[in-house]
Each structure stands twice: as C-alpha cells, then as structure tokens.
A and B are shown apart, each in its own frame.
Chain A
C-alpha cells in the first residue's frame, strides 16, 4: 500500500489514478460547475457541443458589416445568429458553419462551389442565400431571416391537422422541384429544416449544406463534424447504403418521412402502418405516402411535382372537372391516386376542339341554342385546361365549376348525337351535304327539340328533292303507316329502359344517405369507397340519371313519332349505357329505326306538325340541371359541414396556428410537448403493460401488435438497427437495464403468476427467410431455444407473439436473451397477471384438448363434474374425470389426472400391427410423455382424429375458422353439398356432428362471403357451401367493378360424424371429399374433384365427372353394394383380400387392372375392357364403370 494521500479539498483519501494527486471527486465537482456558454446558450434544439464558441465580440469583429442581434440557435451545422444589415436595414440570419477550415482547402473549395449554387436558388419557398464567405477561419452564410417556427417545433406543439400537412407538403415540393431542376439536392430534409413563416409560407433552409459539410454522403468523418448531423430517420435508404448514388429522389424520400410524421406524429420505421390506419385521413393519401417511401428510388415518385400534384388532387385544390371526374371514375379499376389533373388535361384539350368546332358550326347555321351549348362546353374545357395548368385553388368553387361543365358536356354530347343522327339519317334520306349546307334545305324539315324554331324554307332549292318521292300532302296525314306498329314496341321498351335507369339511379342515390358508404364499403370491400366519398357516388347517380332521362324522353319522342333524331339518340344512349335492360332494347330500337318504312313514317309524322319545340326542352334541361347541381351542392355541403369522409379539404388553418405561436418565435421557445399518456407506472401492480408510444394505436392492418421501434414516448427510437430494444424508456428501473444488445431484463412485479407476452417482429432490415432470425431466450426459467421468428410468425406474416406463463417468486420478472445469429427484434413485452386456473367445465361427456406448441409450456386444467374428460392425442385417447395437462418446452407432456383410462388410437393402415397395450387405470396421478407412446391396434376402431388437409396459406391469404357442433339426427343421415372446398368426414363416437371449417381466400371479404349453410332437419342435416360471387354492386357495374378476388373463398370442412352415420348427397364441385372410417352407407359425387373413401364398411355409391374415386373398403361381404361410376375419371378400388363379392367393371376407352387372381380382365372389341369375377362366395356386389378412364382393383389388407 502506498501512503495514503488526502484530498486538500474534501479530505477524503485520494485513490491512485493517472490523475496523480488530484482527487477525482473534486476534479469532477470542479467540472460539474456550470460552464460559461457561448452566446445565446444552447439553441432550442439543444444540440451537440459546437466547437467554435465565438463570443459576440468576436463575431462582431469578424462581421463589421453586420449588427449581431442575438444567437438564434445552434444546429449540427453551425451557429445561427440573427443580425441586421444596417445599410439595407434588413434582418438576416448569419450562419457560421461549425466546419473549420481544413489544411488542404478542400472544404473551402467545396463550400464555395456549393454556396454559389445555393445563391443561385431563388424561390419563394427556399431560404435565400444573400452572401457567403470566410471570416476568421470560419465559413459563413448570410441568409434570409425567416420569422417563424420550424416544423419540428410545430410538430412538438401538438398534433398537426391533416389539412395543414396537405398544405405544407406541396409547398415543399415546389421548392424541391425548383432546386432539383437547378441541380441542387438538399440531402437533409427534416422538420428542423422546414421553416414556417408567420405568414404561413413554408421555407426550406440549409439547402445543400449537407453536401457542403460532407454529411450524409458517407464521408462523415471530417474534423469537427463528428457531431452527427441529421438523423438517419429522414435519410433515404440509398443515402445510408450507397451514398455515391444519391440523387434528388433521396429528398423525395425524406419528404415522405416528414409527410408521414406530419400526418401521424410518428416516424415510418420498421413495418409501419399506412397513415390512414392511424389517423382519419383520405385513404388515397396512403398510396401517395407509401409511394414516396419506396425503398427503391426507381419506384418512388421521380419528381417532386408529381408528389405535389397527387397531394393537391387529394386535398381538393385542383378542381375535379368533367374530365377529372372521368379520371376519378376510371380510377376504380386502375390503381387509384394517379394524378387527376394531368389526366383531365388531355381529355379537356381533346374535347375543346370538337366542342369549339361544333359550336362555331351551329352558330353558323343559326342554331343559337345548340351553339350556345356547344360553346359552353368549349368554355368549360378551356376553364378546365386553365385550372389544370394553374392548379387553381378554391376547391368547392372548382367542383361546382366542374359540374356545371360536366352538365354542359353531357348535353353537348347529346346534341352531337342528335346532330350526327340528323346528318346521316335525318329521316328524309338526305345526305350529309345537306346538313352541312342548310340553305340546301335542312332547316325547314329537321325538327329537333334542341333546335330553334325552324327557319322559313329557303326559296326553291333542294326541299322538294329532299322530301323525296313522297308527295307533300301525304306528310300531313296522321294515318298510321306501316312503320307505326313496329315503332310502338321498341319505343315503349326504350321508355322502360329509361325508367329502369332512373330507378337504378334512385337506388344508388340511397348510398348518399348517412351510413350508405359504409354499406357500400361492406359490399365492395374494405375501404372501397371510403375517402372517395359522396363525390363518386354522386357521379354514379348522375351517370345513370342523365342517360335515364334521355332514354325516357327519346322513347317518348319515338312513341309519339315526334323526332326521329331523338329516337335514334335514345337508342344509341341506351346501347352506350350498357345495362342488361337497355342494351338489347337499344339495339332493337336502332334496327327498327333503320328500316325504310319506319323512317318514312317518321318523315310523314314529323313534317306535318309545325314545330312546337320552342324553348321548353331547354327549360326542362335547365330545370333538371339546376336540380342536379342543387342536389349535388347540398350533398357536398352537408357532408363537408358534418365532417364526413369527404376528401375535399377546407382551407387550412396554418396562418392561425402561426399566429398562436407567434409570441415565442425566436430564441428559446416554450413549446408544449404533446402529452404522452403515462400508461406504464413504474411500481404499479399488475397488469403491467410495457409498450412504446403508448398514445398511438398499436395494431396494424393484420391485427398484429406493434410496440416498439417506432418512436418511444420521449422521442428516442431504436431506429434501423437490428438491436433488441425494449420498449420503455420512461421507467427508470428499465432504463437501468440495458438498452443495447438487450441481454437481460428485470421488471419488478409482485410475486405471483404472470402471463408474459413477447412481441417479435421483423422490422426494417427484413428477415430474409426461415432461419433469418433465430435466438434463444429465457423467461423466468422457461427457455425458448432457437426461437425462429420467421417460422413462428408463419412465414410472411412477419410478426408473432410468444406467450408464456411464469411464476415470479423473487419480486422480479427476469428475461434473458441470448443472441445467436442476428440480434432479434423484440418489440415489446407485456406482463399480465395470469388468469386463475379455471377448470373447464363441460356438460358433454367429451372434450377435445387443442394441440399446443411443442416448445411452449402450457397448463390446462380440465374437469368434468358429472362426466368424463376425454383427451385426444394423435395416437391415443385418455378418459378421466379430472386432468391437468402441461406441455413442456422439450416436447413432453405432463399429465396429472385421477382415474385415467388410456386407450391407444388406431394406427394408420400401412403401419405394422402391434398388440394393444391398454394402460391400466391409474388411481391417483400419472405422468407420461406424449411422444414415445407406442402405436397400438384398433381396440376402439371408430376413434380417429381428423385434420384439415390442404390448408394452403400463401402470402396474402386470409382465413377464418368456423366451428359448430350439431346434435345428429337419430338415423344419422347427413347431406353435404359443397363447392370449391374439401370435405373430410371421419368416424366418431358421439351422437353429434362437429363441423370445423376453415374458410380461406385471398381477401377478407371473400372469406367473409364464403358461407356455410346448415339446415338441421328432423331426420337429416344439410350442409351447403356458398361461394362469394365475383359480381357485386350495381347491375351495370360488372364492367367496371369486377372484383376477381371476391370469388376465391374456399371452405375446407372437417366434419366429425358418428361412425355409423349414413352419408348421402355429398357432392363437391372442384373439391375433394375425404371420408374415413365411416361404417354407414355413403353416397358422394364430385365434379372435377376427388373422392377418397377409406375404411368403408357400408354400401357405397360414388360417382365423379372429371375426377377420381378412391375407395378403400375395410370389409366387403354379404349384402353390401358398391357402385363406382366415373366419366372422364379414374377409379381405384381397394378391396380386402378376403372380400366376398361379385365384381363387375367396365370401361370405355380405358384400361382395367386387377391385383386379384380371380378377377380377370377381358378386352372387348372394338373398345373398352370388361372385368367380371368373384371374390370368396360373392356375397356383395361391386360395380365399377367408367368412360374414358381407368379402373384398378387393388388388394388391401386382410380384415378379421
């Protein structure tokens, strides 16, 4: 021992350290004393210690041209001062970069280059760089001073309304687009760099500074820049992985992260849910946000303005005009969310031309009304083009404008049809030349409700010739001519079609009622309409209402022989409208109208009455238009006011917000931090739930619980590391425990039993496949060895919860993790008080214990008050009155039971026969392993456990279990009817039918739509499966709304019936029927399927078309009758060797083979083969016949 020194300050002995005689405690105490900070103290964001602590005096000395006012804050990149330029009397921001000049001047060179590029950027949404340079060894930038907040502060101040996000993002996009066009990539887009002026304008700061600083491009390690700048959360994946390939799309990714954060308040880390799952926003935004967050740059938005357009489309800042409407409707079948305005632009341009042309022509020929209409539509197109080009704001106005235009568009199109009809078949057999030159004699005869009163007939000219050979007086006769009779029927038909359309429109209009769209969602699939809202439904109504009215009117005109043109138009419209009713009627009407005699009839009828058309059709149209538009406005306004799901956003309240916060815009700001629900009290008694970000929803769309890795309450995240993270940082006890590498975890809990749920999930760095993430952990002594997250989560589902029941005795719940391959990602640990071991009471005399995981420990207490508890395992059955089951991690089964009666189940037919070892009844308790049970014989032959076969689970498949037990009818008769499924029936010893069905399909709807219908009659039970239909929605909707995923619902049955059940009418289309060990009679048929019967004892009647029959008979003897028929199918009959039957089989175009010596095959000329023979005494009858298929008789095993 050295001589002990005492510290002169504290008097304590000084331990030997490299500090010599300095007392470490006192030294640290001296260090603890508050440090004199640089100007302004720490910035609002509280950043790392910045190297150059320049005093205000030093700054002032360096920048004589500036008046330094205050220090605004410090960022990773440097210190920012607010300064004034006295000459210009302008407030500027002076940023002194933390980067010190390096020796070789590389930095200065890069700085100069970048700063010059920045200074060229001149955009309202980009913070302007006024000047830059080097002073006193420090590089600096003089920038525009933005009086306001940054987005981070705004986000911290509380949740951001989606409207606001939708306003901010396009502004950022504009800035980014501009900068990208100038070849400048920001590289460090994050909320801190997005500034919001008090006026509401958004400005992006620090453009390109990241590059200047050499940050984010992999060249991190520059002197002084070791303080990390920017968080990796906002960096695009390629920025981290391949920094050299970073381009402007990295900014789009970063913006996507910001967008997601604005919408949800969280970072999109790991397997994040789409925003609409977290907050109520337009579902179309999901696609936009996810598109920006694509990992592959090539799959992202390629340009910032694409993002902008989409966001604006959704937020409703672009008026959805007529063509926009069409684009929206088209989006049903396509991927929604494409840029509507871009789509609208082209049709608008294309339509503007003919509208203008027709309008001019109509004007030219003196049809003012028609011209007005056409020119109105032309104007609408022009307005739409302007709107598309300028992204005009004012959504509601835009929509009204759009619909006005839509009205014009529809009417003008009708006008076209009428014009064209008249042009080509105007009833008087004139040619198009006549129409183009009205002075040649059109106007006196052509009568259109849309036309003005006809001009007086031009003198002379073509009129007589146009009237054809018909003498003029004939035209005045109202007597019906040949055509009339033919006209009535199609005319009435047209009117009916029109009425049908109107009825359909009315029906659809019901969806506009409250709750209607939810209903629609239910029918059409999840979120099919939500978010699209009333607009689309209204469009559908309109698209039915207008044609319906037109067809009705045209039909009426036809009936009254008033207007040939209207009749033709009605026919065309009813074809175009394309519904089951209107299509044939339209064709019929047009065929009739094309007839010469009909045209003549019209010609006579229409020439005679002086035109009475006048203005009334116009009035009618105007009234209808007003009603339609009024209806629409009411609906839109009501829904907007009520705040429904209408996607049309109002004006954002950003300005108001800014004003709210304006009193603390500079310097240190007191920002209210959004309250986080303190759900996890440290010492709270159970239940204890440990989870991260407790204020947010934790389940994703698939019902998986997601706990950590996406933002802890205090803002800390585990980010994209593959380290284990425990989802709690607020709890000091936990905080003590290790957050890196997370090896052990001890949570103080009162002693007792707990259920511990461990949530695992695949996160950012994906598990690549089976075995991708394997590790071992121990929960209070329960070891989970080689736990494979992938395998346990069921492959593609990527998240799993492992539950274990533990008993805590030392006041701490201990969990240890032992990493093996890669560090696991545990997302949360839930500790719940264990439910008391409630004995399962059952009044039936049997209970089936569900299989448990082999490597998790589970305890199950079962007792039956006045019956037996029957425990089924795969190879045995236990009967007792009270039992406790416990499975151990090593796979063994501990069973404690009283009065055990153990029966070994039958072995599969192929396995060797061993003598039955019946376990003697155990009086008190027995412990046995479920694995080494010996295979036994069929001491109780009817006991057989069934399982569902062919549970094909693919990546995005849903499934739903269906369990039901029915008492079986006295005579045990059961009928099944099944489509696209599998039926398995196995022997059972209870007088009831247990139906277990697994419904699965590609979508949830198809699973839900797959129906199992059970009719229980006194003497039989009928079970029937119904598949979901692919055609849903409206009568005409099959063209657009065909949902192919709907009809893939499949039901896999597993039905347990009494062994002696008689099964008849079992049928399956495209499905399998498997029946095992049923001794009763069986009748089954399949189409395109397979029937497998094994262990049959009773009569069989099996048939198939295009299928296969496999019948294995357990015994065959006196009185039995077996009939197997197949068309285009194969038959395989497995008969016991000691069978006793007359066998006959025949086939056309197929072969027969037999393993029995006494069954000989004879070839028959010209086709087919026959087999006739006898087994034993021939007590039973076996008949098999097939067309185009083979028959095979196989020798089964002997049956005693």
Chain B
C-alpha cells in the first residue's frame, strides 16, 4: 500500500494515500495530543499534517527499502510539529484539502488510554499497534462477511485472542449449531487468516520481509509494556 501510495500520478495512488491517512491517523493524533496540544489544535495539526503529506506526496519517496512506516510517520510528524505548523496554519490547512477524520471517537479512546508514564512516543506506538489490529480485524471481518460468513465471524471473533485451546469450543458449537470439531477447524482457519493478514498489513509498513516478525514483536512489547 505504501508503495502504491508512492506513485503520484494516478488517482489510484491518491486514493491509496488517502486510505493510508485514514487508517493511520489515530496514532498520530494520540501523539499530538500527548505532546500537550489541545484537542482542537491536535485536530488541526493532524489534518494539516495529512493534507501536507497529500499535497507534497511525501510518501512518494518512501520506498519499501526505507524502513518502518511507523518511524516515518513519527519522524514526519515531529518534523512537522517543530517547523511546519506555523506555515501550515498560514496556508489555510493545505490549500483546502481536508480529510474527514473522526476525532470524536479518537478523543474518547485517548481518554481511556492510561495516561501515566505515557510519553507521546509511547502513546503513538500504543495507538499504532491498536490501529493496526483494528485494521486487520476489520479486514478480516469484511472478508468473512463478503463470503457470507458474517455470523460465523461474529461468533468466533473473540477466539482471535488468547491461546488457541482456550476458546470455548463447546459453547461456540452450541451457538452455531456445529460440531465442536467443525468449530475448531473454523477457529483455526480464522486464526490462520488473521495471522496472514496481520503480517501482510505489517509488511506494508516495513521495509523488508525479515522485519515483519521484528515489528510484530516490537508492537507486542509496546502493548504489553503499556
């Protein structure tokens, strides 16, 4: 996705970039908030930041070899905050290009994240990990629903967490009117697909396949370490 976004001339790339921004803005918003900006300022900043990204097509220069997309976002935002904010404000927020971002829910969630011992960077990373999971979760759900297995997904979704044998298979089987074995297989498939999707999504944000596992572990530490 990053790569697709990097190609500037097609509308498709534009869409990809917008999609990218839509997906990954909450961590940045969290970060900006943690940096001590008011929610209004943070909203403006995040908006302006993405507008600027779109305007300059800065992602174009991001090749997959470059490293983690997460770091790129953070760095760019840092940079943006240190220097560009005044300019961006003067330019009427990126020349009228405004992405609609649901700040309300972000704000709500932000309030829920334990604030103590949270540096802006940690908040960003924490939020990043969750956004990533949400992305995967949503995609997974869409996939299942597209195949008409929406109910199955809704029933099995809790099994995405925890150890594989911890899922309440019997209960699920009863719920879905399936055999326990069938549920086990379904859960296995779901997890399998989830892992694949997770890695694919992460692969989009890192430079090489060898970094996927690293990133995964890093994100896990981020979440676990709180």
Contacts and interface: CB of A to CB of B under 8 A. Distances in A.
B120 interface: no
Contacts of A26: 161-162
Contact of A20 (B1, B108, B113, B157): B157
B89 interface: no
Contact of B134 (A19, A739, A742): A19
A739 B133 contact: no
Interface in B142-189: 157-158, 160-164, 166
Nearest to A25: B223
B62 A27 contact: no
B24 interface: no
Interface in B38-66: 58, 61-66
Interface in A817-845: 818-819, 823
Contacts of A716: 65, 67, 207
A35 B203 CA distance: 14
Interface string B121-154: 0000000011001101110000000000000000
B78 interface: yes
A16 B161 contact: no
Contacts of B75: 737-744
A9 interface: yes
A22 B58 contact: no
A18 B134 contact: yes
B74 interface: yes
Given A9-B161, A16-B109, A18-B138, A221 B12 contact: yes
B63 A33 contact: no
Contacts of B137: 18-19, 22, 27
B219 interface: yes
Interface of A is mostly: loop
Contacts of A36: 192
A30 B165 CA distance: 11
A22 B161 contact: yes
B161 A741 contact: no
A20 B207 CA distance: 31
B: contact size bracket: 35 or more
A221 B166 CA distance: 41
Given A19-B137, A28-B220, A47 B78 contact: no
B213 to A, nearest CB: 8
Contact of B78 (A1, A28, A53, A743): A743
A1121 B95 CA distance: 77
Given A719-B63, A741-B72, A816-B82, A19 B109 contact: no
Contacts of A232: 63
- Chain B CB within 10 A, most for which of A9, A16, A42, A742: A16
A19 B74 CA distance: 24
Contacts of A302: none
A470 B75 CA distance: 107
Given A17-B109, A20-B157, A743-B79, A31 B216 contact: yes
Contacts of A492: none
A22 B195 contact: no
B195 A31 contact: yes
Contacts of B158: 21-22
A782 interface: no
B137 to A, nearest CB: 5
A816 B79 CA distance: 9
Given A30-B160, A221-B10, A226 B4 contact: yes
Given A16-B108, A28-B220, A232-B63, A23 B161 contact: yes
B22 interface: no
Nearest to A816: B82
Which of A17, A42, A53, A722 has the most chain B CB atoms closer than 10 A to its own CB? A17
A218 to B, nearest CB: 9
Contacts of B4: 220-221, 226
B161 A30 contact: yes
Contacts of A27: 133, 137, 160-161
B71 A740 contact: yes
Contact of A28 (B7, B164, B219): B219
Interface string B63-95: 111110001101110110011000000000000
B210 interface: yes
A48 B209 contact: yes
Interface in B1-52: 1, 3-4, 7, 10, 12-13
Given A25-B224, A30-B194, A744 B109 contact: no
Interface string A1-44: 11000011100000111111111111111111101100000100
A8 B198 CA distance: 22
A77 to B, nearest CB: 15
A741 B58 contact: yes
A742 B12 CA distance: 28
B196 interface: yes
B82 A743 contact: yes
Contacts of A220: 3-4, 7
A718 B61 CA distance: 10
Interface string A28-72: 111111011000001000111100010000000000000000000
Contact of B61 (A1, A24, A221, A722): A722
Nearest to B72: A740
B112 interface: yes
Nearest to B74: A738
A15 B130 contact: yes
Contacts of B196: 35, 49, 53
A716 B66 CA distance: 8
A721 interface: yes
B216 A28 contact: yes
A587 interface: no
Contacts of B7: 220-221
A717 interface: yes
A723 interface: yes
Contacts of A20: 157
B80 to A, nearest CB: 9
Interface in A202-232: 220-221, 226, 228, 231-232
B217 interface: yes
Contacts of B157: 20, 22
Interface in A668-700: none
A42 B164 CA distance: 24
Contacts of A35: 192, 195-196, 199
A1103 B25 CA distance: 80
A46 B162 contact: no
B164 A30 contact: yes
Nearest to A231: B65
A226 B1 contact: yes
Question: A2, A8, A15, A21: which has the most chain B beta carbons within 10 Å?
Answer: A15
Contacts of A741: 58, 72, 75-76, 79
A317 to B, nearest CB: 37
A814 to B, nearest CB: 12
A1047 B217 CA distance: 66
A228 B207 CA distance: 11
A28 B130 CA distance: 9
A740 B133 contact: no
Interface string A728-762: 00000000111111111000000000000000000
Of A2, A18, A47, most B-chain CB atoms within 10 Å: A18
Contacts of B63: 228, 232, 719, 721
Contact of B161 (A7, A717, A722, A738): A7
6 contacts: A9-B163, A30-B160, A220-B4, A221-B7, A723-B61, A736-B71
Closest 6 CB pairs of A and B: A738-B75, A743-B79, A26-B161, A9-B162, A740-B72, A18-B134
Given A28-B216, A49-B200, A226-B1, 12 more contacts: A9-B161, A9-B162, A25-B223, A25-B224, A30-B163, A33-B191, A35-B192, A46-B209, A228-B63, A717-B65, A719-B65, A743-B76
Interface of A: 1-2, 7-9, 15-33, 35-36, 42, 46-49, 53, 220-221, 226, 228, 231-232, 716-719, 721-723, 736-744, 816, 818-819, 823
